[in-house]
Structure 1
Amino acid sequence: MVSHPEVRHISRCSIKPEFVSEESKQRFHLTPWDLSLLSAHYIQTGLLFSKPIATNDPSITIIDNLKDSLSRTLVQFLPLAGHLVTHKQEDPPSYSISISLDCKNTPGVEFMHAVADVTTSDILSPIDVPPIVQSFFPLDKAVNHDGHTLPLLAVQVTEILDGIFIACSFNHVVGDGVSYWNFFNAWAEICRTINGKQDHISCPPILQRWFLDGHGPIINLPFSHHDEFIDRYRPPVVLRERYFHFSSQSIARLKAKANTEDNTSTISSFQALSALVWRCVTRSRRRLSSHQKTSCRFAINNRSRLNPPLSPDYFGNCVQPAGADATVGEVLNHGFGWAARLLHDAVSGHSDSKVRESLEAWMRSPLIYQFRKHFDPSSIMMGCSPRFNMYGCDFGWGKAEAVRSGSANKFDGKVSLYPGREGGGSVDLEVNLPAESMTALESDPEFMDAVSPSQHQTH
């Protein structure tokens, strides 16, 4: 039997903000976008770096610097140091959830230091993501509602033989992908300037939550117990997880092809790539009938779509799902540009008025997303974004080698988009499919003709 490498935990501690003023101790109310994610998993994304050079002072380790800079960063990202609280009232009946910050009675941020006898090549060279990567992430299987008793942010720093992996499990109720990467970049910024003790960050977060006029800040949910809306979903089959690289030239060709086929110039790179994935993944699911419904969903950032717009530094959730529906036969029998047009229309129709209408509808009938109910194995969900500044996270050791994610929020048809390391509009796709469907995708000419060689894979 082949033995697999294991992650060994060296230490564990709680990191709290360097200081919290009395006026900062408060209750952070949650919006419909925040509350709708109570049953989803934490965001789990991390960065792999080459082995950092030791600090000039041998008494100060890289781990010390990461802890110190994290404590300083939390001063500006206070909700991450809090915990969820449920407020119930009998008369009149009410059930609300918020973030409470009281540094004397709060878990703070969990920080773990670990080691593993693997190399960068062991992580990046295999065709499928090796299982050890999931062991780099804390709070496995936790759903966001668990933030009542678990920390809202947990960090694991794993030293490997020739590098270091920084992984965060970030409660999705606290913020979306934009918020996550704003935090990660702020932490890196403070860490790389820590010798000068600078706590300034380029993009301070805006912590004040945005609510629809006439609603909030306290939102009462129509529940009496969390068992009514929590579903601890795990995929019913083992999924293969693989990365596919698309160079900027390949993305440009896809965009040009989609626009040519649809006789337009308005289809974006994201819409073209998503249409390709929708078509090819649908084709790889060979048991689907032509009349079966399928959809391509993605999360739209509402910050710039609201009128007036919210700041890019708004800290919280400001995304909602959108997408297109069709039958399997329509997606496969029409051209590539047809599918891209459907996705373009879904994005262009996502206006300020539509956002507000959807929030009004949510207030009338609150919905907590559950994978089992709201995602089906004939559809795909495009998550994350290649616009996030992942490779700009410089802790003082230079650019990361790669982005990888944990097991959270993964199911048949979940696809995550990351920027390619070389930049320039290149994209890495993380695709999760059952083995049979992944094998079919790997032999799909339309898909593989668009895939570019990866600098990491040797196969």
Structure 2
Amino acid sequence: MKVEVESSRIVKPLYDDDGGAAPAPWPEWMPLSVFDTVTYDENIAIIYAFQPPNPPSAALELGLARTLAVYREFAGRLGVGPDGRRSVLLNDAGARFVEAAVDAPLAVAVPFRPSPEVKRLHPCIDGAPVEELLQVQVTRFSCGSMVLGFASHHRVADGQATASFLVAWGLATRRMPVAPPLPVRDRPTRFVPRDPPLVEFPHRDTEYKAPTQAKKRDANGADEDDDEEELGAAAHHKIKVHKLHFTKDFVARLKARASSVLPPSSRRGYTTFESLVAHLWRAVTAARGLGAGETTRIRISVNGRARMRPPVPRDYFGNLVLWAFPRCDAGDLVSRPVHHAAELIHRAVAGVDDAYFRSFVDFAASGAVESEGLVPTADTNQVVLCPNLEVDSWLGISFYDLDFGGGCPFYFMPSYLPMEGTLFLVPSVLGDGSIEAYVPLFENHLEEFKKICYNIA
């Protein structure tokens, strides 16, 4: 696929009296919250595909400018504020807008499967960091179809906040009001520690870890860390991403199987998420050949908006995610039925409740992170997670509600991310309750995984 970049420019917020935001205040520093600073320090890219007719780039650009006037963080720049805290400078410096073209029909040019090719459909997020916290690429095809590649910095917004921005962009492009509801933008003041603080849970080695030790040298004087980086780079090329489609019927049968052991009087069954992640955890563990005596765990994102008391508004713009870490002996996990894994996941996620979120806020604000030099366990440098997994679920997030005027997307996917063991769950665009999973594994493990991934046991 040959992608020709036709233009690249900065789009700044547009403040007007025709449905836009109020005139911009002076530039100001907005400190990141403890949830922003503990998450991944990286750009995340997603890809949309739209059938014709599609709006001209001028309309998309105008809509983006009007939306940035409401969501100012995406037009700002990351830095260190006057108080020494990591912050976003709300200076309206703008987002990057790239126009590109492919001289072929979309159905012929784009591989609608995990492939490094899809990375050409969004601005580059690999390598040296970029100033812009938001970058978009609009690629048009000879058939009239359009692909939108959207890349944003994770420390500015989590998945739910990003989806809200995208929906607002669609409204603005259609000349509709971006709000209500307005985004809730009080991250510097919303999460204050209690007085007195109450740290009830172990946050070291959960959200935080000790810093990496200084480089060690082997007997020949070479840096051992450099050797590990070379091994990581070599392993990276052996990782392949496989896309699975779980039909509505498969999901229903899996949930019924997982919940079959619950007593008839139980008012709950295992959710779609719990059942499907349990199934994938067991299948990946078996495909990796892990056995008794080796512990495997999953890192599961937990949205705190509805869990904190009082609940945080759904339109809160920022990060509000912590993680659950169910774990199990690999041999035990594979040998026992799927309901065992589902129960481990259910209990771990249920434990990340209001008390846990409040405890985290108290710990993060206690000064221990700074005095001990702790760093987040959300590490973008990990290429291989084996024997562990990480699951990022986009189920229930309104990514499909983006409409620039020609209708909602007919395809949506994460960018190609060959991070072994990092799984993405995405609701199918079919809208029938089916689910797509993106599973990156080593090639030799992937072949075994393909043989067993649809077996319900």
TM-score (norm 1): 0.82
Q: Give the 5 Å matches for 1:286-305.
A: 286=289, 288-305=290-307
2:138 matched to 1:153? no
In 1, Cα distance between equivalents of 2:298 and 2:212: 30
**Whole-angstrom distance in 2 between the partners of 1:84 and 1:227:** 27
Confirm or deny that 1:47 pairs with 2:40.
Answer: no
**Displacement, 1:140?**
2.0
Maintained 8 Å contact 1:6/1:132:
no
CA distance in 1, matches of 2:69, 2:154: 20
* Correspondence for 2:415: 406
Task: Give the structure 1 partner of residue 205 of structure 2.
Answer: none
Alignment of 1:41-440 (within 5 A): 41-53=42-54, 62-87=56-81, 95-103=84-92, 106=93, 108-122=94-108, 128-141=113-126, 146=129, 150-162=131-143, 163-191=145-173, 193-194=174-175, 198-209=176-187, 210-213=190-193, 236-238=235-237, 239-263=239-263, 265-286=268-289, 288-363=290-365, 364-365=368-369, 366-368=374-376, 369-372=378-381, 376-407=385-416, 410-440=418-448
CA distance in 1, matches of 2:242, 2:410: 17
The sequence identity of aligned pairs, in percent, is 24
Of 203-212 and 108-117, more deviation after overlay is shown by 203-212
| C-alpha separation in 1, matches of 2:51 and 2:99 | 17
Aligned to 2:222: none
Question: In 1, distance between residues paired with 2:36 and 2:140?
Answer: 33
2:193·2:362 contact (CA, 8 Å) conserved in 1?
no
2:30 matched to which residue of 1?
28
Cα distance in structure 1, aligned partners of 2:402 and 2:35: 27
Q: Give the aligned residue type for 1:172.
A: H
- 2:9 matched residue in structure 1: 13
- Following TM superposition, by how much is the alpha carbon of 1:234 offset from its aligned partner in structure 2, in angstroms? 6.5
Cα distance, 1:125 vs. partner? 6.0
Q: Deviations over 1:199-241 (max 9, x none)?
A: 34353211111223359xxxxxx9xx9999xx99878322212
RMSD value over aligned CA atoms?
Answer: 2.8
Tell me by how many angstroms 1:299 deviates. 0.4
Change (3 A) 1:328 1:226: closer
The whole-number CA distance in structure 1 between the counterparts of 2:316 and 2:59 is 27
CA contact (8 A) 1:44 1:167 kept: yes
Q: Could you say what secondary structure the match of 1:298 adopts?
A: strand
| AA partner of residue 254 (structure 2) | L
How many angstroms apart in 1 are the aligned matches of 2:335 and 2:84?
A: 49
**1-structure distance, mates of 2:85, 2:260:** 51
In 2, distance between residues paired with 1:235 and 1:185? 40
Distance 2:388 2:426 in 1: 20
SS in 2 for 1:297: strand
Separation (CA, whole Å) in 1 of partners of 2:437 and 2:379? 24
**Contact map agreement 1:182 1:203 (CA 8 A) in 2:** no
Q: Within 1, Cα distance between the matches of 2:86 and 2:375?
A: 14
Tell me how far apart the structure 2 counterparts of residues 376 and 360 of structure 1 sit (CA, whole Å): 29
Do the aligned residues in 2 keep the contact of 1:420 with 1:428 (CA within 8 Å)?
A: yes
The CA deviation at 1:276 is 0.4
Name the SS for the 1:261 alignment partner. Answer: coil
CA contact (8 A) 1:12 1:112 kept: yes
Structure 2, gaps ≥5 residues long:
16-21, 196-207, 215-225
Whole-angstrom CA distance in 2 between matches of 1:328 and 1:235: 26
Q: Secondary structure at the match of 2:7?
A: strand
- Once residues 79 and 235 of structure 1 are traced to their aligned partners in structure 2, the CA distance between those partners, rounded to angstroms, is 37
Q: If the length of structure 2 is used for normalisation, what is the TM-score?
A: 0.82
Structure 1 CA distance, aligned partners of 2:285 and 2:434? 24
Q: Which amino acid aligns with 2:75?
A: A
Going from structure 1 to structure 2, the CA distance change for 1:290 and 1:117 (only over 3 Å counts) comes to farther
How many residues get paired? 407
- Is 2:240–2:443's contact at 8 Å kept on the other side of the alignment? yes
CA shift, 1:262, in A, is 4.6
Secondary structure, counterpart of 2:286 in structure 1:
helix
Q: Which runs of 5+ in 1 are unaligned?
A: 56-61, 89-93, 216-221, 451-459
Measure the CA separation in 2 of the matches of 1:136 and 1:155: 9
